[in-house]
């Protein structure tokens, strides 16, 4: 799916917000659990700690906190929001979707739905929201949120050192500025087993005597995931460069899905974007899948790193194996 700039009106980012789980889990705790030398986790992942939701917190709680910030910063009343989209892999419950619950708690009766594309969920939601802005002429609330600490086996080293809980939100709406210049994405479902939670769906329902391992995130080969993620994001980024007529030297910030510092750094190198223009802002918060890009946008705007007039490249890849990229002008 691609969006051609010549066929669209401008969609801009009007507001942003973020929220984290209340509990901070440091590398020290995990390194002691797995008898690892000090510094081992940060050296391999770039993460110093990760945030976990408190027992009473669910995805909707984090999502609402981030959404309220985004709405306040945008100045858009909740009643003016045309659609509410939630990108998540860890909804409050399987039925109904969590987005309508969020809408009700925000005081909205707008159409609301969940979008599940794992780590690319927000990037896919970004493209979907852009189409909705163009078709309605009204602002859209887009949220990425996950509580992955409850989908990670706490005894599985490859996954527990990566994932955390967070939410990020943006309000996208029609603007007179260039806004989103181009976006594209693709999937490669043949690689689905590389990152999967096998049990809990119609293929393999949860059973009382089912294997505990099938209830949690499984990543049989981190190296394979690394290669697939880099390859797919490079392809998508090169495609949006061509469509938007943008070159790497014009990119002020590359905000890739904050999966690990190694993936983010390697993507920057492959795209010839200098390290000082590659965002790595979630070292203390962990990989929250679809939430990492909106959280990074929010942190970057809040800290004055992302400024009006800059050109930002977004890229994500993850389970599915789904990927996407977008170029937008702040």
Q: Check which CATH number belongs to the domain holding 114 and give it.
A: 3.40.47.10
> Domain check: are 171 and 195 in the same one?
no
Instruction: Determine the Cα–Cα distance for residues 284 and 84; give it in Å rounded to an integer.
Output: 29
Q: Active site includes 146?
A: no
Q: Does 253 lie in the same domain as 164?
A: no
Last residue of a domain, one of 122, 145, 177: 177
Asked whether residue 71 falls in the same domain as residue 127, the answer is yes
The number of domains in the chain is 2
The answer to whether residues 90 and 167 belong to one domain is yes
Q: In sequence order, what are the residues at sequence separation of 6 or more whose Cβ sits closer than 8 angstroms to the Cβ of residue 313?
A: 237, 240, 246, 251, 253, 254, 255, 271, 273, 325, 326, 327
The verdict on whether 119 is a catalytic residue reads yes
Give the CA dihedral 17, 3, 313, 297, nearest 10 degrees: 0
Instruction: Examine the domain organization and report whether 21 and 162 are in the same domain.
Output: yes
Report whether pLDDT(24) > 60: yes
Residues 81 and 163 in one domain: yes
What's the pLDDT at 210?
Answer: 59
pTM of the model as a whole: 0.93
Q: Is the pLDDT of residue 2 over 50?
A: no
- The 10s digit of each residue's pLDDT in 228-257 is 999 999 999 999 999 999 999 999 999 999
Q: Which of 13, 119, 237, 322 is catalytic?
A: 119
CB atoms within 10 A of CB 37: 8
Q: Which of 27, 186, 237, 257 is labelled catalytic?
A: 257
Question: Average pLDDT, stretch 165-189?
Answer: 93
CA dist 38 and 48 (Å) reads 11
Instruction: Look at residues 177, 192, 217 and tell me which one is the last residue of a structural domain.
Output: 177
27 is known as an active-site residue? no
Lowest mean pLDDT across 15-29, 45-59, 133-147, 209-223: 209-223
Tell me the percentage of the chain whose pLDDT exceeds 90.
Answer: 82
Span 267-294, average pLDDT = 98
**Same domain, yes or no, for 185 and 157?**
no
Domain boundary among 126, 153, 177: 177
Average confidence (pLDDT) over 14-41? 97
Q: According to the model, what pLDDT value does residue 159 have?
A: 93
Widest Cα–Cα separation across the chain: 58
164 and 60 within one domain = yes
Give the confidence band of 98 by pLDDT, cuts at 50, 70, 90: very high
15 in the same domain as 163: yes
Is the distance from CB of 24 to CB of 144 less than 8 angstroms?
no
Nearest CA among 24, 87, 80, 38 for reference residue 59: 87
pLDDT at 5 over 70: no
Please give the structure tokens belonging to residue 281: 């802002």
Q: Are 89 and 116 in contact (CB under 8 A)?
A: yes
Indicate if 256 and 208 belong to the same structural domain.
yes
Tell whether the model's pLDDT for residue 207 goes beyond 90.
Answer: no
Higher-confidence position of 303 and 178:
303
**Between 40 and 207, the higher pLDDT residue:** 40
**pLDDT value for 275:** 97
**Residue 8 scores a pLDDT above 80:** no
Q: Name the average pLDDT for the chain.
A: 93
Catalytic residue among 186, 237, 287, 322: 287
Residues 279 and 291 in one domain: yes
Q: Are residues 149 and 135 in the same domain?
A: yes
* Distances from the Cα of 264 to the Cα of 76, 101, 204, 247, 278, angstroms: 33, 34, 33, 19, 8
Strand locations in the chain, DSSP E? 2-3, 11-20, 23-26, 49-52, 83-87, 112-115, 140-147, 165-174, 180-187, 253-256, 311-318, 322-329
The total number of residues shown for the chain amounts to: 330
Q: Structural domain of residue 92, as residue ranges? A: 2-177
The average pLDDT across 82-101 equals 97
Q: Which residues pair with 325 in a beta bridge?
A: 184, 315
Contact residues for 310 (Cβ-Cβ < 8 A; gap 6+) = 252, 253, 329, 330
| Residues of the chain above pLDDT 70, percent | 96
């Amino acid at each position: 799916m691609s969006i051609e700039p010549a066929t669209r009106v401008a969609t801009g980012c009007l507001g942003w917000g973020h929220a984290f789980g209340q509990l901070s889990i440091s590398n020290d705790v995990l390194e002691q659990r797995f008898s690892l030398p000090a510094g081992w986790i940060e050296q391999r992942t770039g993460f110093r700690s990760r945030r976990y939701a408190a027992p009473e917190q669910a995805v909707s709680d984090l999502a609402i906190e981030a959404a309220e910030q985004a709405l306040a910063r945008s100045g858009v009343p909740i009643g003016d929001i045309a659609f509410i989209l939630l990108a998540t892999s860890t909804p409050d419950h399987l039925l109904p979707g969590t987005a309508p619950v969020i809408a009700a708690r925000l005081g909205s009766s707008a159409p609301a739905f969940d979008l599940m594309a794992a780590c690319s969920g927000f990037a896919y939601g970004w493209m979907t929201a852009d189409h909705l802005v163009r078709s309605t002429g009204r602002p859209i609330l887009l949220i990425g949120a996950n509580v992955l600490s409850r989908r990670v086996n706490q005894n599985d080293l490859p996954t527990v050192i990566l994932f955390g809980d967070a939410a990020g939100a943006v309000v996208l709406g029609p603007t007179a500025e260039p806004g989103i210049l181009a976006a594209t994405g693709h999937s490669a479902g043949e690689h689905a087993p590389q990152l999967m939670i096998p049990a809990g769906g119609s293929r393999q329902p949860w059973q009382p005597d089912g294997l505990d391992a099938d209830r949690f995130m499984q990543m049989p080969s981190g190296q394979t995931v690394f290669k697939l993620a880099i390859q797919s994001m490079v392809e998508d980024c090169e495609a949006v460069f061509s469509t938007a007529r943008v070159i790497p030297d014009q990119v002020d910030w590359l905000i890739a899905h904050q999966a690990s510092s190694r993936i983010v750094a390697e993507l920057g190198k492959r795209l010839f974007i200098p390290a000082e223009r590659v965002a790595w802002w979630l070292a203390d918060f962990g990989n929250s899948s679809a939430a990492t890009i909106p959280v990074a946008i929010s942190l970057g705007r809040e800290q004055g790193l992302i400024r009006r007039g800059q050109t930002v490249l977004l890229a994500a890849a993850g389970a599915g194996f789904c990927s996407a990229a977008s170029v937008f002008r702040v």
